[in-house]
Amino acid sequence: MPLALIATFAVVWYAVHAATPLKPFPDFARYMLPLVPLLLVLGASFIYELAVRWDRRGILAAIVLLLAAVQALVMSVQINAPDVDPRGVVPSIVAASGARVIFDRYSDYEQNRRILGIRQRPTKDMADIVVTSNLAYDRFALEAAPGAMAAYYRELSAKPHLDVSNGRPTVGYFNPALRIVAMDGSVDRLKRIAAEIEAAAPSLKVELIEPPKSGE
């Protein structure tokens, strides 16, 4: 029972923090530090149980652990490859474009820029560009999702925008895809920003999305 409680707490702790992007930069990995002693206890107990009871159940447990460890290693390599983080390149380029820009809290490391709050929904009268990320808009991805924020993010996606990513899977706070939305509809400005991003970080994937105009 003690080991079951430790394992349950470790799984719940990890799942809760991995499922939410509400971990402030920098050092967001610190939220996993409480798991270190628990994993040491569980690992030592697992090795002990295998050593004293080497039967069919022990062999099966070892195989399951090995398969899980290989999958975890593959996922870790995919997530943590040393690719460029879009948040380290895109915000400064967009901020220097001369446009009025508002960022959401997951698209920029700088805290002194204008931040898109939970209740703030800027219009084209307030900003020329809104920079958001899939850590925010994926929460409202369903077409039938209710609420004003869901409708607002659907409206953003219907405007001309750039999608920028490093091609790695987004997990927790890692590898977000940034969306640079032209609130004023200026595709030319988006093309200039895209060219600057590609010049500054050729490894980033930059895609210009121009939704069809009404009647097309």
Residue with tokens 């899977």: 169
∠ at Cα 97 (94, 102), nearest 5°?
A: 50
Q: Is residue 28 very low, low, confident or very high in pLDDT (cuts 50, 70, 90)?
A: low
Question: CB burial class (10 A; 0-12, 13-18, 19+) of residue 90?
Answer: buried
Mean pLDDT value of segment 36-54? 84
Whether the Cβ atoms of residue 122 and residue 155 lie closer than 8 Å to each other: no
Q: Is residue 173 very low, low, confident or very high in pLDDT (cuts 50, 70, 90)?
A: confident
